[in-house]
Structure formats: C-alpha cells, structure tokens
Structure 1
Amino acid sequence: MSPFDCNANKELIVRLKHDADLIQSIAELARSRGIDAGSFTAIGALKRARLGYYDQKNHEYREIKIDSPHEMASCVGNVSVSDGKPFVHAHVVLADEKGNARAGHLLEGIVFAAEVHLRQSESLKLERKYDEVTGLWLWDL
C-alpha cells in the first residue's frame, strides 16, 4: 500500500438531466473541467440501471439489469483517467418501491433525478493500469 496525499481543492455540485446516463454525465463533467482525479457522491432516483458483479474467479462482470424505477439509497465513486479520457467508477445501492435493495458496480444508470457532489483533487492525476492479478484496471500508484 502506497498512499498519496491529496487535497480536495475544488468541489462541484450539479443536478443531472432527466434521462441522462449518470456515468456518462459525470465523465463529461470531468472532461469539461479537466478533472483527472476526484471522488463523488450522488443521490436521487434512476429510471433503469445496469449493475455489474465482478466474478473474481473468472475475471469478468456479470450483468444485472434493472428495468424499473429505483431510489439511489447510496452512490459513491471516483474519477480517474484511462486511455487519456475520464474514467468514472461508481458503486450504487438501489431500492425498489418495497425497499428491497440491489447493489453493485454501476455500468449504466438512466436518471430520473440526480444530484451529484464532486470533489476534485487538483494535486493528483490518477491513471488506470491493467492489473494481471485481479483482471481489473486499477489506479497506477
């Protein structure tokens, strides 16, 4: 473990557009603001979503489709750079109308309403690099 000191020098808040994709919207915000490292939280609701569960043995994501409206009980993530472009990594807990929860890596989330708080770490550029052990693209620290 090699930690890096970073300061959240800039904080942005944004309301995402109805019917936008949450991941793509945050990536576009990062691109337009030149954000190479940051973290975010989001609250709101999604009309539908695609989640991923990472199969650690086979090194592949299993997709979980959610085709109905759900509340975002929690959404946290980070922004880094992969292949020169913003890379948004988010995990989410979604609750249906009965309070039943589904959770995982957010592959796609179509927004009903969402508010995002993004904290930029201006002193740091996080690049992703393929990790042979996990089969994941992880921070190159």
Structure 2
Amino acid sequence: MADIQSVYSSDGENIYGRLEKGDDLLEGILEVCDSHGISAGSFSCIGSLEKVGILQIGEKDGDIGYTEPIYINKPVEILSGTGFIGRDLEGEMDIHFHGLFVDINGQISGGHFIRGKNPTLVTMEFIVHTAKDVNLQRKTDESWNLPVFQFFQGDDY
C-alpha cells in the first residue's frame, strides 16, 4: 500500500487525509486509524475509484439480507460516502460504509462497500471523526440475524 497522507487536528478529534492510487478505500481508512491509535469513530470521503465492489440490501426467501457482490469494473467518483469504524464479531477492526457514486455516463448508484474491492483511482480525501469514549462492536441483531454495530460508552461492551 502506498504512503497515506494523514494528520490529526490540533483539537485531537479529527484526522484529515487522503488515499493514493491503488489504496483500497476501506483498508486504507483502517490503516489510518491503526496508525493514529483510533478504534472507533465515523468517516466521510470523496474521490475516485478504479472499480467498485458493493452489496445492496435485499430479500431472499422472505429473509432480509445482502445481495451477492456487485462489481462495477470501470472508474467512478464517490459523490458522498459515510461509514462507521469499530470491531467485528471477533474483535478485529471493521468498517461499515455506504457510498453514492457516479460513472462516466452519469449513472448514479450506491450501496454497502466491500472491504478490499475498491481501489483508489486518483485520490480519496477523507475525514475521520474520532470517538475516544465510545466503542462500536458488531453483534448479531436478533430481529434480522445480521451482525450490526452496537454502541457502548467507554469500555463497556
């Protein structure tokens, strides 16, 4: 992965930066968080991707869940993207990110981005809003049987 440019704001609440060509969007954000000691927060970004890998919410056999992966193998620009940073079911760093993007033909789409499937084309500018006294931990939601972030104050989780 290329060098990622990122700086902590003087108030200690935000990280500003950018990913470079080839950096995966979600892996890059996780790397930035790791390098700054961040384990929970949210982020937003704009920029361009070489290609896109997403899921979309759907229904199959009467159950709510995600579609099979959808791959768009052409350049796109992210018009808006927002995500949460926390821990997965095994306690590893994880991201939940949804984005809206446009292709060269003006077709707009979006969805739930897949980790490792969204390489930066030119640049991806981001801001991470840190959460020093909040923890996000995925747990299986009993209603939907899907792993979703649960929010906890301090070290309670």
Does TM, normalized by the shorter one, top 0.5?
yes
Which residue matches 1:116? 126
Q: 2:143 aligns with which of 125, 130, 133?
A: 133
Displacement, 1:9? 5.4
Q: Contact 1:43–1:114 (CA<8 Å) still a contact in 2? A: yes
Tell me the TM-score normalised to structure 1 length.
0.86
> Using the alignment, how far apart are the partners of 2:33 and 2:149 within structure 1?
17
Residue from 43, 67, 71 that aligns with 1:65: 71
Aligned length: 134
8 Å CA contact 2:46–2:126 kept in 1: the answer is yes
Q: Secondary structure at the match of 1:59?
A: strand
Q: Is the 2:64–2:144 contact (alpha carbons within 8 Å) kept by the matching residues of 1?
A: no
Runs of 5+ unmatched residues, structure 1: 1-7
Q: TM-score, normalised by structure 2?
A: 0.78
Identical aligned pairs, as a percentage?
Answer: 27
Q: For 2:92 and 2:67, how far apart are their aligned partners in 1?
A: 22
User: Pick from 44, 55, 72: which aligns with 1:52?
Assistant: 55
Higher relative contact order (CA 8 A, sep 6+): 1
Q: Which amino acid aligns with 2:32?
A: L
Q: Which residue of 1 aligns with 2:41?
A: 38
Q: Unaligned regions of 5+ residues in structure 2, if any?
A: 1-10, 152-157
Q: What is the RMSD of the two structures over their aligned residues, measured on CA atoms?
A: 1.7
Letter in 1 for 2:69: E
* Equivalent of 1:14 in 14, 17, 21: 17
Q: Which residue of 1 aligns with 2:106?
A: 99
Q: 1:120 to 1:49 in 2, by over 3 A?
A: same
